[in-house]
Amino acid sequence: MSYRNIYFDMEQPVLFSLNEGQFSAQYRNDYRHMTVEHIFDSAALQIRRTSTPYQYELRVKASCDSKYAAEQVFPVNESMQLRLCRSNYTENGISVIWYSQECDESFEFSCGESMETDHIKLFMLLLYDCIYENSYQTPRSNTTEADIKHLFPVRAAPKLSSSFLTKQDTQKQLCYKFEHLILELSVQRNMSAPIEFDYVQYKGSKLSKSHSITENISSLQAELYEYIPEKESFIVRADVCTVDLVRLQNNFTFALIVSGNQHVPSLSQIVDHQINPNFNKTAKTFTWNYVESGRIYAFMLKIPTDELYDDFSASFAQCLFENSTRIPFRKSRKSDQNYVISAFGNSVLDDFDPLEYTFEETTTDDDCDDPAKDDTPLHVSSEERAFFDAFSSSKSPILLYAPATSRLFVFENDSIAIYQQLQGNMQFRKAIYDIKTLNNHELHVNQAILYKQEAQLLLLDTQNPHNTNKIHKFDIAEGKVVDEWQIEDEGSLLYITPSFKSAPQSDEQTICGITSSAVFRIDPLQAGNNKIKSSEYKKHITKTNFSVAATTEAGHLAVAGNRGDIKLFDALNTMAKMTLPPIGEPILALDTTASGRYIVATCADFLMLVEVEGQHTDNKPTPIILRLQSKHVMLMQNFKKFTRAYFDGENRIMASTGQYLIMWSLQDIYHGRIDTYKIKKLDELALASCQSSANNNIIVAVRSLHHSLL
């Protein structure tokens, strides 16, 4: 600590400064809404003496024009709640954040990219020295480093570089597990640990001779960076490289070509969603993954101007759209084109109200962890072992959690395992095998929902012809199918969903159903064989290709499918109040918040979050694409498709890919941190997950790596 004394022994008014950065403020503009305002695009942050002993000030000096005074001054004291965090303005940047009691506002100084980490750390240490002197009215030279550290926040030094695995507190990590197949865990706490990674230099690639270029879509020059795990950061590969987006002889096939100099191998790859493209408009960067000889690499382009960035991101969105849909982009409506282009921007949720939700956690750093080990002995009954030994490798199990009765149902083909949550643990109750229809036919369940106060299940089997257009009512207490309802329509029944979000916990009789081209309500009490309510039925003449649906607490319906578009219905006998056009991939699953404000759609390579409350047909909302960061995919080295994403309450989005459970916070997304998330690495591949509301944990189904998986 003595080396810092020299800064206090000097007589100059400025103790230390950060000479490059951006300055912003965050405050409430009324009792409901929070505003983030950019104050200075370019500024310096100084620690200065005052004429009063042991009193210092933090001064922000603008180096550009602004409507605010060029100098902003803040007293240095313990109430300023000083901390470091990851910057919202620069890739891998660091921000100094403090609070002002005088104006009840928080302020952020985002350090420039040229600022060295050690320089920022020294600034923070000196600032804490000043806080100590102010708090105890004594020279810092009279104290110890330990006394200074008592002023540090609990999370004193967020991890300043790329990292991605999270670790659970030992007592909270695993509530129960059996044979590495069902895990119940909490994604709440982080601890750091090193990442080991065997990096091999890439050799580069060129387009094959079979690929001839027919059109140059976009061309620009940019800086090229590569992510190096050992450095935990992106390293410059070329100060200037040429980037081309080109159309190949197959009209809907495009390639990304990055050419450097003789010391930097060229990169050529087909443009599709599997390269994991990520755009950051604030930093004017584009990151993606490149695969060579089975290894995954992460690269980043820094684009020099906003104009070039906008042109490149729009051109890339066009290429992705045409490659996925096989539809010329120019033939889409202008509003749909803008929707697709905006989807790839670095957006935030409009009019998000942080007071509307209670967030459990607001940390934004991604700490790195090895998975926590639980050495608790496993007590697995022979019946439970037999059920999971019979797991088929042909498909993933279905998890269904019943919050009112605290039960978990695990479906695998014609069998069900039932668990009961007791004292925070999932305890196996029984397994039911060889479920049959009323006609004693096989019943292979590929969808299930809870029904009638969670006492019954409604099962669908869309694979076997003898079960086409039938809903099977399964009584849990009796352990068998007790009724079947027929659906008579030109198309096959593909999906059912409760009439409203909490309907399974009520006595509600009706449910919603879809075919590939129709939405309708199903009433089992209706007379006759056909249980479709004709007054709540809508057939679409155009090809819609519906396959999944979800309802809100108010009973509004969202429907999507293989085309990738989403239709929103206030009523089932009318046209959709809003249609969100496809952005390039089939939608595999949907979920909504109970309020109906947000929809999350699961695609194979990304998730899409849409805020729909208060929107109108002539004002489509901007979708937000959620992907994993390219550096994290590189560290995983084996990216799998996303499983069904869902809202964990109203605060978080949960999904899994491969061995990783992913959690996004809506609060982070609101603040523009769409690449901030937490990852829990499991010992096995995650096949499905669901929320356990009793203890706010997540239940995950995994399969032993000894089996054939996906």
Structure-model confidence comparison of residues 71 and 372, the more confident one: 71
- Examine the pLDDT at 155 and tell me if it is beyond 60: no
Mean pLDDT for the chain overall: 80
- What pLDDT does residue 543 have? 79
- What pLDDT does residue 384 have? 54
- What pLDDT does residue 104 have? 77
Query: Which contacts qualify for 417-420: CB closer than 8 Å, 24 or more apart?
Result: 417/384, 417/387, 417/388, 418/476, 419/182
Q: Tokens in use for 150?
A: 């008592």
What region, left, alpha or beta, does residue 559 occupy, with left being phi > 0 and alpha being psi -120 to 50 degrees? beta
CATH of 213-345 given 2.30.40.10, 2.30.29.30, 1.10.3470.10, 3.30.1360.30: 2.30.29.30
Q: Which range has the worst mean pLDDT, 104-118, 175-189, 409-423, 580-594?
A: 175-189
Q: What is the pLDDT averaged over residues 311-338?
A: 88
CB 525 within 8 A of CB 556: no
Q: What is the pLDDT averaged over residues 319-326?
A: 88
- Examine the pLDDT at 154 and tell me if it is beyond 80: no
- Examine the pLDDT at 92 and tell me if it is beyond 50: yes
pLDDT band at 369 (very low <50, low <70, confident <90, very high): very low
* 3-state SS, one letter per residue, for 600-631: EEECCCCEEEEECCCCECCECCCCEEECCCHH
- The per-residue pLDDT for range 373-412, each reduced to its tens digit, is 333 333 445 555 555 555 544 457 888 889 889 898 989 8
Q: What is the pLDDT averaged over residues 273-281?
A: 91
Nearest to 566 by CA among 545, 597, 596: 545
Nearest to 231 by CA among 302, 304, 298, 157: 298
- Examine the pLDDT at 94 and tell me if it is beyond 90: no
In this chain, the answer to whether the domains covering 3-149 and 213-345 adopt an identical fold is: yes
Within 13 Å, how many C-alpha atoms sit on residue 642's CB side? Answer: 29
Q: Which range has the worst mean pLDDT, 92-96, 123-127, 210-214?
A: 92-96
Question: Domain 3-149: which topology?
Answer: PH-domain like (2.30.29)
Instruction: List, in order, residues 6 or more apart from 9 with CB less than 8 Å away.
Output: none
How many degrees, rounded to 5, is the angle at CA 15 between CA 9 and CA 21? 165
CB 43 within 8 A of CB 62: yes
- Examine the pLDDT at 273 and tell me if it is beyond 80: yes
Q: Quote the CA–CA distance of 392 and 53 in Å, as a whole number.
A: 74
pLDDT band at 281 (very low <50, low <70, confident <90, very high): confident
- Examine the pLDDT at 589 and tell me if it is beyond 50: yes
> What pTM does this model have?
0.69
- Examine the pLDDT at 175 and tell me if it is beyond 50: no
Structural domain boundaries of the chain? 3-149, 213-345, 382-483, 487-626, 628-709
- Examine the pLDDT at 189 and tell me if it is beyond 70: no
Q: Quote the CA–CA distance of 572 and 645 in Å, as a whole number.
A: 25
Q: Tokens in use for 28?
A: 């409430």
- The per-residue pLDDT for range 592-643, each reduced to its tens digit, is 998 889 999 999 999 999 988 755 445 678 889 999 999 999 988 877 889 8
CB 549 within 8 A of CB 495: yes
Q: Which range has the worst mean pLDDT, 19-28, 90-99, 125-134?
A: 90-99
Structure-model confidence comparison of residues 178 and 108, the more confident one: 108
Q: Which range has the worst mean pLDDT, 72-81, 458-467, 504-513, 673-682?
A: 673-682
Question: Domain 487-626: which topology?
Answer: Methylamine Dehydrogenase; Chain H (2.130.10)
- What pLDDT does residue 34 have? 59
Instruction: List, in order, residues 6 or more apart from 12 with CB less than 8 Å away.
Output: none
Q: Quote the CA–CA distance of 163 and 357 in Å, as a whole number.
A: 28
- The per-residue pLDDT for range 435-469, each reduced to its tens digit, is 999 999 999 999 999 999 999 999 999 988 899 99
- The per-residue pLDDT for range 3-57, each reduced to its tens digit, is 566 666 566 788 889 999 999 988 765 434 457 788 898 999 999 999 888 899 9
* 3-state SS, one letter per residue, for 263-287: CCCCEEEECCHHHCCEEECCCCEEE
- Examine the pLDDT at 122 and tell me if it is beyond 80: yes
Residue type, 287: T
- The per-residue pLDDT for range 495-510, each reduced to its tens digit, is 999 999 999 999 999 9
- Percentage of residues of the chain with pLDDT beyond 70: 78
- What pLDDT does residue 171 have? 28
